[in-house]
């Protein structure tokens, strides 16, 4: 019998325990199954053992990251014979390393979920970016909680999508209810047929055009970026983009676009240019979806920009 495993990640006091208990109380999720709950850290919200017993939950505390071995997990499977497993992971441990651990043959990892306190997200991004990356990069569902009227949706979404483009994001208010959060006002006039993207706005624009490419169809955009690669096999194509610090200084990623340009072979990789181009939406097989493709109107050399892309 397959045993589904649900992994809950996030920093201490990000709402993991509350989310787990709410999930267990959900009648659509819980149907008297026997659950094994591994607690890898102790947060402000505790688990009442008598209440957990009503939901057929066995709780096991894991003190050290090194305890999560194949032998240990097999022993838990033998002892408790769970029908599903929920793991509240320690926010300071490395999710990537845990995913490399061999599980008991019955266990199937079915979902990774991450809870994030929206009110402290900027602090973590500025001071513990690599740890945020670990929490987010593998997650399929990311829940920003404690959102209020001052929460900047574009900052939350932009930074998460730069790490994990396929993650689903949910926003919750301070009271725990779903909060759609209105889209922030963009720093450029998206309704205009001709857009000039300033250096500091590149990240926000990139995330918006990648999420809603059809809204830019036939518009002209002008921005400065770096020639990444000239396609020698397709002589009218080159790649353009800018560097973003996604995790840390050792993990710089280029984010950009495919550009069609008849004189692309005259360009050099690493060259900085001011590009004016028309946007067309096309299906990309590798991305498995519609992406914006740029058709150059003009390409001119410009001074290099020395800052990384940000998403605020």
Domain containing residue 222: CATH number: 2.40.50.140
Say if residue 200 is in the same domain as residue 134.
no
How far from 278 is each of 111, 195, 204, 236, CA to CA, in Å?
40, 10, 19, 15
Position 93 in a domain: yes
Say if residue 16 is in the same domain as residue 124.
yes
Say if residue 58 is in the same domain as residue 154.
yes
Say if residue 130 is in the same domain as residue 207.
no
Distance of CA 100 to the CA centre of its chain: 20
Helix (H) or strand (E) holding 22: helix 16-25
Q: Strands 237-245, 194-196: parallel, antiparallel or unpaired by DSSP?
A: unpaired
What local confidence, expressed as pLDDT, does residue 249 receive? 63
Ranges of residues in the chain whose predicted pLDDT is under 50: none
Say if residue 110 is in the same domain as residue 223.
no
What local confidence, expressed as pLDDT, does residue 183 receive? 77
Position 178 in a domain: no
Q: Strands 194-196, 168-173: parallel, antiparallel or unpaired by DSSP?
A: unpaired
* CATH number of the domain residue 129 falls in: 3.40.50.300
Q: How many CB atoms lie within 10 A of CB 293?
A: 19
CA distance 175 to 173: 5
Task: Tell me the per-residue pLDDT of 142-166, one tens digit each, with 9 for 90 and over.
Answer: 999 999 988 988 889 989 988 998 8
Q: Domain span at residue 167?
A: 3-173
Say if residue 37 is in the same domain as residue 138.
yes
How far from 147 is each of 30, 68, 121, 125, 199, CA to CA, in Å?
28, 33, 11, 17, 28
What local confidence, expressed as pLDDT, does residue 232 receive? 66
Position 157 in a domain: yes
Say if residue 54 is in the same domain as residue 134.
yes
How many domains would you assign to the chain? 2
Say if residue 85 is in the same domain as residue 12.
yes
Say if residue 109 is in the same domain as residue 210.
no
Say if residue 8 is in the same domain as residue 156.
yes
Say if residue 127 is in the same domain as residue 48.
yes
Position 181 in a domain: no
């Amino acid at each position: 019998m397959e045993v589904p495993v649900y992994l809950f990640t996030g920093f201490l006091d990000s709402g993991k325990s509350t989310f787990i208990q709410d999930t267990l109380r959900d009648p659509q999720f819980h149907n008297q199954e026997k659950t094994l709950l591994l607690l890898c850290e102790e947060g402000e919200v505790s688990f009442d053992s008598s209440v957990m017993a009503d939901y057929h939950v066995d709780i096991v505390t894991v003190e050290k990251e090194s305890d999560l071995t194949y032998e240990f997990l097999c022993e838990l499977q033998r002892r408790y014979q769970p029908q599903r497993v929920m793991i509240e992971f320690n926010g300071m441990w490395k999710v990537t390393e845990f995913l490399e651990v061999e599980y008991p043959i019955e266990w199937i990892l079915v979902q990774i979920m991450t809870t994030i306190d929206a009110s402290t997200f900027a602090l973590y991004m500025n001071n513990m970016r690599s740890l945020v990356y670990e929490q987010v990069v593998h997650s399929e569902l990311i829940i920003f909680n404690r959102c209020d009227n001052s929460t900047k949706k574009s900052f939350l979404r932009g930074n998460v999508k730069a790490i994990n483009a396929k993650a689903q994001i949910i926003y919750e208010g301070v009271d725990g209810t779903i909060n759609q959060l209105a889209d922030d006002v963009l720093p450029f006039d998206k309704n205009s047929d001709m857009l000039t993207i300033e250096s500091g706005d590149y990240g926000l624009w990139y995330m918006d055009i990648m999420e809603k490419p059809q809204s830019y169809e036939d518009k002209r955009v002008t921005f400065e970026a770096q020639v990444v690669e000239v396609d020698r096999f397709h002589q009218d194509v080159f790649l353009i983009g800018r560097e973003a610090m996604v995790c840390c200084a050792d993990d710089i990623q280029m984010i950009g676009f495919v550009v069609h340009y008849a004189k692309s072979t005259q360009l050099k990789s690493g060259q900085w240019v001011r590009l004016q181009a028309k946007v067309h939406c096309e299906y990309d097989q590798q991305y498995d979806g519609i992406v914006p493709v740029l058709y150059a109107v003009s390409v001119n050399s410009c001074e290099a920009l020395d800052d990384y892309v940000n998403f605020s």
